[in-house]
Amino acid sequence: MINEELLRWSQQIQAIAQNGMAYTTNVFDLGRFQELRHIAAEMMAAATGAELAEVSSVFDVQSGYATPKLDVRGVVFKEDKILMVEELNDHKRWTLPGGWVDINEPLSQAVEREVREEAGMIVKARKVAAIFDRNQHGHPLYPFHLYKIFVMCDLIAEATPDPTETAEPSFFALDEITNLSEARVTLEELKRLFAHHEHPELPTEFD
């Protein structure tokens, strides 16, 4: 069972260590921040049951000032049903197509690319419906802090999905959605996205 409080502490300590390593010019302080990072890795391993070496390798590649990561999700409707894809690496649970925003990639391009790769749909990004802090919206805990950006997209054409990432892209009414990948999207978030589809005048939601 995940120790949520210990996980939060480890995230904060890791961020402090990463920020210190990014800015310090003192070799002794650098050593202290590296030790803090190691302690944070030990705490996260204890909190989650993961192997210490695995956690340390993830922490070791983090550099620069620690900021939230960006996860973008494409919101595509057809006949009042929302596009979902089945995650092959998450027990075949359903989610919105999406993933990480790449460096030097505009948000619109990122979401259009993800929908094309995962669902085989060619879309045009139209509106940011919501920018949610993952920690505030009922998702299971994750090693890093991230923001989830939900972008309403217009469907242009259907192509062929990438079979290595997802399977069975399908459109669902809200009451038809089951077996959600809650690490990626929650039912409450989906309800808000259906509201934005039904009421396009709604402003972008955040926090």
Q: Scanning the structure block, which residue is given the tokens 């039904």?
A: 198
Domain shared by 56 and 76, yes or no: no
Tell me: do 52 and 148 sit in the same domain.
Answer: no
Q: Which residue has the tokens 């409707």?
A: 77
Instruction: Count Cβ neighbours within 10 Å for each residue of 113-146 and write b for 16 or more, e otherwise.
Output: bbbbbbbbbebebeebbbbbebeebebeeebebb
pLDDT of residue 95 exceeding 80? yes
Same domain? 56 vs 93: no
166 close to 121: Cβ distance less than 8 angstroms: no
Q: Both 118 and 166 in a single domain?
A: yes
Q: Which residues contact 88 (CB under 8 A, 6 or more apart)?
A: 164, 165, 166, 167
For residue 76, the model assigns a pLDDT of: 98
For residues 38 and 128, state if they share a domain: no
What pTM, to 2 d.p., does this model score?
0.86
Residues in the chain: 207
Total domain count for the chain? 2
- At residue 87, the pLDDT reads 87
Is residue 181 within 8 A of residue 94, CB to CB? The reply is yes
- pLDDT-derived band at 153, boundaries 50, 70, 90: very high
User: Based on the domain organization, do 152 and 96 belong to the same domain?
Assistant: yes
CATH number for 102 = 3.90.79.10
**What is the residue range of 39's domain?**
4-60
